[in-house]
Structure 1
Amino acid sequence: MDTVSCLNPGQLHGQSKEGEELCPYKNRHTKNRKTIVINCKECDSESSLNDPDCRRKIFGILRKEVHADCLVLSRLYERDYEGKALESLYTLAGFRESVIGYGGMKMVPGPCTRPEKSDCLGERKDFMEILIENAEYDPMKARLALSMFIQVKGLKKVPGDPPECAACSEHFYHLLYEILEKAPFLPNMPVKIPAPQNHDFSVPAGETGWSAESLLADTSGELAPGEMAHVPPHVPPHVPPHSPAKILKSLLQQGENGIKRREGREGREGRESESLTINGCTNTDGSTTDVFFEYESRIKPHVRPPFSSSRIYTEAPRNTEFLECYDISGRDERDERVLEISIYRYTDRPEKLYMIRPPEYNLRPEELRLLEKVRKRMIRHRPGDLAFTDPAGARKYFRRMAREFLLEELLSGEKSVSPEELESYSDLLTRYTNGLGIVEDLLSDPRVTDVYINAPADLNAVHVVLEGEECVSNVFLSQDDLDALVSRFRTISGRPFGEAVPVLELNLEDFGVRVSVIGDSLSANGLAYAFRKHARDPWTLPKLVNTGSISSFAAGLLSFLMDGQASVLIAGEVGAGKTSLLSAMLLEIPQKYRVLTIEDTHELPIEKLQGLGWKVQGMSSHSSVLKSGAEISPETALRAALRLGSSSLVIGEVRGPEVKVLYEAMQVGQAGNSVIGTIHGSSAENVYERIVHTLGVPPASFKATDAVIICSTIRPGGSMQKLKRVSQIAEITGSPIENPEPGELFTDIMTYDAARDSLLPGEVLEQGQSELIEKIARKWGISIDQALKNIEIRTRIKEKIAEEGKRRPALLEAEAVSEANNIFWLLMDSMKSRDKTGFKPGFEPETGKGSGTEAEIETGTKAEIESEINFTPGFETDFEADFEAD
């Protein structure tokens, strides 16, 4: 008859007792997520899965909380386990439950009259109890020992070995195998097995020994059913070192160094027997070499500082290829931080990965302790004044408070930091208390134009638009982040937001960002955000030429249209560059004219234009999506603007009933100099359909529009890259038909050629038959040829600025372009003052007084333009010298 050698509990770490206290923890519930937060701040253990006591308590909590989406170990660092990592933890915690169900089963089947029955039964029960105890805190080691015990047939042979004893042993083996088969599959886990020292192993000649590592290649402890038939029914008394039994002896202690049988058992007090241990292997000096499973190396948490609840993955997935990396500085000039940006390409889908690595996620422990102390003080602080309530000065207030608290903590702890580190710490605390957190870092990248956060945000990565191409990022925001952001936005904007008003739009002047937020009940899965960056410096036509959005001739034409007080609509899809083009065209309006702007969220660079000398008056209207009783409707704002005198009228977005008022004013000339605005539409015909048929403007009134400019996003060759291009400039013809078809109403002045990636002149322009150019020429009292020559001059100027701007980027900025335009207008005025220019409106040559024929005057005019604005290298040199002098 066989008897069993019990598993040795050794020094069982943290064995659970019924009702024993677990670590303090709490559950956080959001709409889509449940998070278990374990407070490890007061714990003496390591707060690590490699710590047996921590493992036992974590598994106990997971067995109690049967479902969670995230597990957080909260200490100096926050360790987040989710997804596959949390699934593995639940599997490990459930292994004990799989084993414990077999504890009450019959260990010795059928009637047995052998005197060894009581010993067999007791030893097998001890085996199961110790297996359960070990499974509670180290399931990997417990399962490994169980699997190896089955493989080597660990039941020792009883003298005589009657057949009924062999069948009884096989019954117990199959019971153990059933435990392995029904237990959840445990994840493979790296294992550390130091080589046993001075083992008394004799290796026969010609045979090679097995290492413990080779047996543990499959650390999950799985045993295939077919393997049982190949395992010998008992362990021979002398086995070669490469046999499973010999390897088992190197891992599982046997003999007198084994455990003592549990005391207190009836009829078995004080008895000892040979046993197996799952704690390790025994050396000749009596010491034990432990088998240690690296739980942390396989079940990896996401580590983050305590002041941030955002999850940032610092390692690129395996299915990506590295493309490039670069560094960016912080948004604030005083921010000395350097952010590392890496761009990867997915190998299994047409998408790129944008990875950002903020330095605060790699802070030293002493730095984290300091910042956490100061952050808690800032949260508890109750200011004595209301300076912090002013959105414009709140950031400076919090920065100053952070600096003061930091200095106090440093002085009390007798520590010191450099002035640069002090500024960096102050900015970090300000960003995570009064700022936008990690979103600020994303917006500080000059190559990023948009940031999108889809709901539910804690399950969807933040998306960024990098130079026109949308990329997935390594950033996941938490529900706490979203709630804090929307609360701050509601305070800044002064607009309501909630279930009754689920849309919020505002403009963050400090960040140069337009924000749109949607929530319940409009968004099905919680809050969603869209951040759209404005250009830090206003766009200019030469800058757009260098980006490829327009050609240099198109820049000259648009400058001519703005100078000629044309009424223009800029149409296009979302993100096609409508507002950028509108901002650039405003610089082409002479500074002597007044400009009125109407916007719901301020995107136009009004302050910058005012600083450059333009007479701009900004006006606000209510949100384009939802109305607020405290705000003015666009229709009312437009009527007020028309009563403020003759001005160029700029409308941020033409969209509603105010369009009728606008076209009515344009028809009677009440609008003043010109009207320019943006509207959503993919073509000139689409704009006509929307304004006439959707918004109800009469077709005859629509003819008050002079031109429609279409902005588009182009995907070259069908690639994933998106390029912003002006695809069409069309004029409205003076068709006598009362209700013309859209195709009969528009004539293309310029069209986009995809093969050349350029905006090319149309036939009507090449043949000098443009009605719009002729209309402006009549207003100026010049011929269409002279108007075309004027456009050519402007083209050469824009082309020269764009070309030199590649070498000297300052020439592309608004200040330089406005100076160039002012020089051009002054030169034009000086030429108009001369009688022979023919530019003065109403000028008629006096025949018979030597003034020459009309043809001669036109020829003289062209010669005068060429001589005054000389297209020679000398003029270009003087033009550059003016900028260098300024």
Structure 2
Amino acid sequence: MNIKAKLQDAVNALNYGSLSVPDKKDEETCSYRIKQTKNRKTIIINCRECDSGSSLNDIHCRKNILSILQKEVKADCLVLSRLYERDYEGEALFLLYTLAGFEEIVTAYESAEKVPGDCTLSEKKACELERKEIIASFAKTVENDPLKARLEMKRFIQGKMLNKTSNRDTRKVTGKVTGKVTGKTLNKISEKIPVKGSETLPICKACSERFYHMLYEIEEKLSGFPEVPVIKKSEIRGTVENSEKGIGKTIENTLEKMEGNLIKDTSGEVTLAEISRHFPFLARAIWKEKMEKSECAVGELFDYESSIKPHVRPPFSSSRVYADAPENTEFLECYDIDGREGRRLEVSIYRYIDRPEKLYMIRPPEYNLREEDLRLLEKVRMRMIRHRPKDLAFTDPVVAREYFRRMAKKLLEEELLASGKVCSPDELESYADLLARYTNGLGIVEDLLSDARITDVYINAPADKNPVHVVLEGEECVSNVFLSQDDLDSLVSRFRIISGRPFGEAIPVLELNLEDFGVRVSVIGDPLSASGLAYAFRKHSLSPWTLPKLINTGSVSPYAAGLLSFLMDGQASVLVAGEVGAGKTSLLSAMLLEIPQKYRILTIEDTHELPIEKLQVLGWKVQGMSSQSSVLKSGAEMSPETALRAALRLGNSALVLGEVRGEEVKVLYEAMQVGKAGNSVIGTIHGSSTENVYERIVHTLGVPPSSFKATDAVIICSGIRLEGSMKKLKRVSRIAETTSAVIENPQPSDIFTDIMKYDASQDCLLAGKALEQGQSELIEKIARKWGISIDRALKSIELRARIKEKIAVEGLKKPFLLEAEAVSQANNMFWLLSNCMTKSRSFGDEYASNPVNNPVGNFANNSADNLVNNSVNNSLNNNTNNLADNLESDCRDDLDMLYRQWEIWFENFARKGQGIGK
């Protein structure tokens, strides 16, 4: 044999589980292979070419499965690979190993002493042979049908007890038992006890009792397996015969009812019983074969599948989705998610009754497809895998996803035409999107990210042993999804390509942003995560957050929203602080909409989360800049310090830092102190309180206390657990200003004055004394810069609060009013009307002769997303033509008049533009 042939034999042996020379028993065993990962060993049995039923109820399959488990004694999962993949793990695999151990239990007694060695009776050899044949019979049966062997042994022992009570244990042994021992033979043997003469010998009775004690001992060791339902042969025979005669057509009727698009049918639990309805050989042929082959003495078959249930999944997904809710849960609610291309996903929420946690369950439709649909999809998927496009930049996930979707649709059409099958356009789109999801998308992770109620998705290592965790509206829940190592490896490969950043043992951290899903991804691997890959998906809204939307979620109060709008308009320098997942970036995004469009904005982020492109479309002048990853340094990226110095040279702009964290802070505060930072500086920083922020910036990062006072305000975002509940609510818990007083060796508590503070009893931000008494240094600073009194500045805050509250209230009925498009329109109109009011007060009739037509027209032209049609613009112009005259008539209540004018515009806008943005 040449070297090539030897190498091929070695590879084949590795693939199928052993390098040893197969014996006769091995040759009869189904082909299988071992898949070994760092934390998991999986046995995969190839059932695709097998003529048997690929079921535990099939005598041939069961024998082979148990034989394999006897050799592979420490697996974590057993997979029967046919059209569907059936995974046995956990309790199911434990039961299979228990059944596989029955043979070892029984065969261990074959070499045990059956008759005492000191027996001198002439019947000794006959007794010993009979008892060996009894044990051998059980050993033979246990290979194919362990439960049958247990039942026969139990009845054999019970029969002996009946014989004793009926005084039939005095019969003399006659003849010799040879050949195969069946159930009937066992009954005959049980009646034969050696005797001498007409009286039972005490030695024979003790010997017999000893043997039956051995059988009882074996039966006791087998009794730990749970009881399994038994199906009578007569019942199976009648069902099969009726089906063949056309009377009992339950299977056919069921399959007819299942005609249609199962992509939309996710109502059922995916169990093997349902899968068998898709496969005639499981519903008819297997059971008919069992009836013919079974040698059970009472004409019975054991339904192994009813007690040992696998997790069923399609072949294109190696992740496991558990369809059955655990017994220790109770149902809470369910809802549907409408995803891409009409895909509907069923979600159920359960509550554990023995621990304070919830269970989040999804039922993807692809886990419940018809056999013919699954065959079609698998055939097209294999064609897609073999396809290698040369003209596609896969670093763009949106382009690549659309490319594969179109390719899948084209291949599906070709297969349907070739086979003569039909498929509706909606089904075709759904199947094409399904294939794109599992070839170039995120697979089942997309389903989790498509739920608007989920904010975070966590995958802890080892992922194939730990369920995926989700944060559902602030409450962390365990899910019914277990991602496989293959899926995790595939995801990280795609993320590495998309981000352009290295990832491996040398650099075990990867961070990127998936714009198409609105998700920030963090991945860690070996050696940082010794148990394997771990993921964190943090969602941010695909559309920018707005202050009215945050009002409706309870994060801020209307008055707090008015104050934040005033601070942004007043070009204050603000730090937004909080722990991870507290809503810092969401609040920062909403605050950016409160910066007038006339000002330029520069952003610096290591992972892009701010809605820069959306702001640009809405008319804001935003320039985004990228900096080095916050965790690992890459030579191809600019350090945050360098990016900041470059930003300071780009002219007068509002500067936004995605995260304040390192040496660049010194440069930032130096620029703020000498006025080089432009209009204002806004950034996020990790810290649970104002004191923590001060300690970190001053003592950890080395910024002098005098320089820190360039920060006008610190806003704290917190995850609040009201009354100690498991649910975390995202709330702005504190808005504090920095004092300008000169304090020697100041303590953190001396630096800040609360403007607003959260009251948990009312679940609301309340005004502090400085704000109530009009003694806020920051508001006075902005008022002085604007040339107005503090009272007028406070009225301006109240006016903005009324506007935000009006939008929030109307947004409950018309959600499009809460989105960035509508809020930006409302803010722009407020600034226009406010500007007109200021000019009319300054110039009187000179400006009143030409009021707001030109500003409104310029505003409408500058807006890339024109949310109102011409009729809305015309109505707006008509309503504001006499604005200057009205403002001149009553300057004392000009802010109230400004609100009334804005309200007229807003109501008209809400009425005319209600179909926009839906």
User: TM-score per shorter chain, which class?
Assistant: 0.7 to 0.9
Q: By how many angstroms is 1:18 displaced?
A: 4.4
Moved more, 384-393 or 405-414: 384-393
Q: By how many angstroms is 1:650 displaced?
A: 0.4
Partner of 1:776: 782
**1:128-167 alignment runs, 5 A limit:** 128-153=135-160, 155-157=190-192, 160-163=198-201, 164-167=203-206
Three-state SS of the structure 2 residue aligned to 1:751 is strand
State the one-letter code of the partner of 2:591. Answer: M
**1:505-524 alignment runs, 5 A limit:** 505-524=511-530
Q: By how many angstroms is 1:336 displaced?
A: 1.6
Q: Confirm whether residue 866 of structure 1 aligns to residue 896 of structure 2.
A: yes
* Contact 1:657–1:695 (CA under 8 A) maintained in structure 2: yes
State the one-letter code of the partner of 2:893. Answer: A
Q: By how many angstroms is 1:279 displaced?
A: 3.2
Q: Which residue of 62, 65, 88 corresponds with 2:72?
A: 65
| Separation in 2, partners of 1:558, 1:579 | 15
Deviations 1:436-493 (A, max 9, x none): 0000000001111110000100111000011111100000001001100000100100
State the one-letter code of the partner of 1:491. Answer: I
| Separation in 1, partners of 2:222, 2:44 | 28
Partner of 1:87: 94
Partner of 1:529: 535
Partner of 2:827: 821
Three-state SS of the structure 1 residue aligned to 2:409 is helix
Q: By how many angstroms is 1:32 displaced?
A: 0.6
Q: Which residue of 409, 420, 436 corresponds with 1:414?
A: 420
In the superposition, relative to structure 1, how do residues 278 and 735 fare at CA in structure 2: closer, same or farther (>3 Å)?
Answer: same
State the one-letter code of the partner of 1:69. Answer: D
Q: By how many angstroms is 1:111 displaced?
A: 5.6
In the superposition, relative to structure 1, how do residues 487 and 184 fare at CA in structure 2: closer, same or farther (>3 Å)?
Answer: farther
State the one-letter code of the partner of 2:72. Answer: E
| Separation in 1, partners of 2:380, 2:630 | 41
Partner of 2:83: 76
| Separation in 1, partners of 2:310, 2:619 | 56
Q: Which residue of 47, 50, 54 corresponds with 1:40?
A: 47
Q: Which residue of 257, 270, 295 corresponds with 1:279?
A: 295
Q: Confirm whether residue 168 of structure 1 aligns to residue 189 of structure 2.
A: no
In the superposition, relative to structure 1, how do residues 867 and 173 fare at CA in structure 2: closer, same or farther (>3 Å)?
Answer: closer
Q: By how many angstroms is 1:542 displaced?
A: 0.8
Partner of 1:851: none
Partner of 1:306: 315
Q: Which residue of 303, 311, 326 corresponds with 1:317?
A: 326
| Separation in 1, partners of 2:315, 2:666 | 55
State the one-letter code of the partner of 1:41. Answer: R
Q: Which residue of 601, 604, 627 corresponds with 1:621?
A: 627
* Contact 1:327–1:338 (CA under 8 A) maintained in structure 2: yes
State the one-letter code of the partner of 2:200. Answer: P
Three-state SS of the structure 1 residue aligned to 2:532 is coil
* Contact 1:837–1:864 (CA under 8 A) maintained in structure 2: no
State the one-letter code of the partner of 2:335. Answer: Y
Q: By how many angstroms is 1:103 displaced?
A: 1.7
| Separation in 2, partners of 1:834, 1:411 | 72
In the superposition, relative to structure 1, how do residues 379 and 515 fare at CA in structure 2: closer, same or farther (>3 Å)?
Answer: same
In the superposition, relative to structure 1, how do residues 837 and 731 fare at CA in structure 2: closer, same or farther (>3 Å)?
Answer: farther
CA RMSD of aligned residues (A): 2.2
Q: By how many angstroms is 1:740 displaced?
A: 1.6
Q: By how many angstroms is 1:137 displaced?
A: 1.0
Three-state SS of the structure 1 residue aligned to 2:227 is coil
* Contact 1:729–1:749 (CA under 8 A) maintained in structure 2: yes
Deviations 1:342-397 (A, max 9, x none): 00010000000000000000001111111111111111123353455644411111
Deviations 1:784-838 (A, max 9, x none): 1111111111111111111111111111111111111111111111122134599
**1:438-837 alignment runs, 5 A limit:** 438-835=444-841
Q: By how many angstroms is 1:194 displaced?
A: 5.9
Q: By how many angstroms is 1:121 displaced?
A: 3.2
State the one-letter code of the partner of 2:503. Answer: F
TM-score, normalized by length of structure 2? 0.80
In the superposition, relative to structure 1, how do residues 43 and 804 fare at CA in structure 2: closer, same or farther (>3 Å)?
Answer: same
| Separation in 2, partners of 1:654, 1:319 | 45
Partner of 2:911: 884
Q: Confirm whether residue 379 of structure 1 aligns to residue 377 of structure 2.
A: no
State the one-letter code of the partner of 1:308. Answer: S
Three-state SS of the structure 2 residue aligned to 1:817 is helix
* Contact 2:395–2:497 (CA under 8 A) maintained in structure 1: no
Unaligned runs of 5+ in 2: 1-22, 161-186, 237-292, 845-886, 914-918
Partner of 1:285: none
| Separation in 1, partners of 2:94, 2:895 | 78
| Separation in 1, partners of 2:741, 2:191 | 107
Three-state SS of the structure 2 residue aligned to 1:806 is helix
| Separation in 1, partners of 2:818, 2:221 | 72
Partner of 2:335: 326
* Contact 1:94–1:184 (CA under 8 A) maintained in structure 2: no
* Contact 1:579–1:603 (CA under 8 A) maintained in structure 2: yes
* Contact 1:753–1:759 (CA under 8 A) maintained in structure 2: yes
Larger Rg: 1 or 2? 1
* Contact 2:392–2:400 (CA under 8 A) maintained in structure 1: no
In the superposition, relative to structure 1, how do residues 823 and 144 fare at CA in structure 2: closer, same or farther (>3 Å)?
Answer: same
Aligned length: 762
* Contact 2:88–2:310 (CA under 8 A) maintained in structure 1: yes
Three-state SS of the structure 2 residue aligned to 1:72 is strand
| Separation in 1, partners of 2:679, 2:67 | 77
| Separation in 1, partners of 2:556, 2:564 | 10
Q: Which residue of 61, 66, 89 corresponds with 1:54?
A: 61
* Contact 2:830–2:902 (CA under 8 A) maintained in structure 1: no
Partner of 1:232: none
Deviations 1:505-535 (A, max 9, x none): 0000111100000011111211000001111
* Contact 1:539–1:580 (CA under 8 A) maintained in structure 2: yes
State the one-letter code of the partner of 1:504. Answer: L
Q: By how many angstroms is 1:656 displaced?
A: 0.4
* Contact 1:512–1:535 (CA under 8 A) maintained in structure 2: yes
* Contact 1:659–1:697 (CA under 8 A) maintained in structure 2: yes
* Contact 1:554–1:759 (CA under 8 A) maintained in structure 2: yes
Three-state SS of the structure 1 residue aligned to 2:659 is coil
State the one-letter code of the partner of 1:295. Answer: Y
* Contact 2:739–2:751 (CA under 8 A) maintained in structure 1: yes
Partner of 2:409: 403
State the one-letter code of the partner of 1:879. Answer: F
| Separation in 1, partners of 2:707, 2:143 | 82
* Contact 2:54–2:61 (CA under 8 A) maintained in structure 1: yes
* Contact 2:380–2:408 (CA under 8 A) maintained in structure 1: yes
In the superposition, relative to structure 1, how do residues 95 and 859 fare at CA in structure 2: closer, same or farther (>3 Å)?
Answer: same
In the superposition, relative to structure 1, how do residues 319 and 41 fare at CA in structure 2: closer, same or farther (>3 Å)?
Answer: same
Q: Confirm whether residue 291 of structure 1 aligns to residue 300 of structure 2.
A: yes
Q: By how many angstroms is 1:693 displaced?
A: 0.3
In the superposition, relative to structure 1, how do residues 781 and 45 fare at CA in structure 2: closer, same or farther (>3 Å)?
Answer: same
* Contact 1:354–1:471 (CA under 8 A) maintained in structure 2: yes
Q: Confirm whether residue 336 of structure 1 aligns to residue 342 of structure 2.
A: yes
State the one-letter code of the partner of 2:63. Answer: R
Unaligned runs of 5+ in 1: 1-15, 198-276, 282-288, 839-856
| Separation in 1, partners of 2:684, 2:232 | 70
* Contact 1:731–1:749 (CA under 8 A) maintained in structure 2: yes
In the superposition, relative to structure 1, how do residues 346 and 590 fare at CA in structure 2: closer, same or farther (>3 Å)?
Answer: same
| Separation in 1, partners of 2:364, 2:669 | 51
